[in-house]
Amino acid sequence: MRKNFFTKIILLFIIIPPLSSFADENAKEKKVAKYVMENIQKDYVNCYSFYKVAAQSFKNAGKDKSIIDSLENSADVSLKYNYDLGEIMGLNPEVMSQMTKDNVEKFVKLAKKDFSLLAKDYGMMCKNLVENPEQRTNFWEEKGKKKFK
């Protein structure tokens, strides 16, 4: 399933735009593809941050190890795809690392203020992103098509 996700992203970003028959449509498709990639990459950064903060919060609360392991596994998946997309987009690994670190710090502050709000805002979106990345790609693609009419 993840291979299909990255295949779709690569098609959106690299292959489909040159096949377009009209210059305007080509430019629009490139903008939409870039928009999708940037937003999915941000989603993965946010989900990595959410899962790391949630795992630590659950550790601190003495919750079941299997729940913590599941959260940490989801964090690892999110981080991997964050970097995979960043690489496709040509982002510098050091820049991605700093972005990720800054985002985790932001999520720590949010969790200290109101963890339940953080979980409400990111829990289901991140679960869906990890389990079905194509659905989130389609979400951003539709938003991009509306934005770049």
Q: What is the pLDDT of residues 7-20, one digit of tens each?
A: 666 555 555 555 54
Task: Decide if 28 is inside a domain.
Answer: no
Residue 60 CB-density burial (10 A; 0-12 exposed, 13-18 middle, 19+ buried): exposed
Residue 111 domain-assigned?
A: yes
Residue 79 lies in a domain: yes
Does 74 reside within a domain? yes
State pLDDT tens for residues 80-89.
999 999 998 8
Distance CA 35, CA 29 (A): 10
In a domain, 119, yes or no: yes
In a domain, 40, yes or no: no
Residue-wise burial string across 3-30, b where 16 or more C-beta atoms lie within 10 A, e elsewhere: eebeebbeebbeebbeeeeeeeeeebbb
Asked whether residue 69 is domain-assigned, the answer is yes
16-47 pLDDT, tens digit each = 555 545 566 778 888 999 999 999 999 999 99
SS3 call for 116: helix
Whole-model pTM over 0.85: no
The burial of 41, by beta-carbon neighbours within 10 Å (0-12 exposed, 13-18 middle, 19 or more buried), is given as: buried
Query: Tokens 């377009």 appear where?
Result: 20
Q: Residue 92 carries which side chain, given as an amino acid letter?
A: N
What is the total count of domains within the chain? 1
Residue 25 has what pLDDT? 73
Let me know if residue 70 belongs to a domain: yes
Structural domain range at position 104: 1-10+46-134
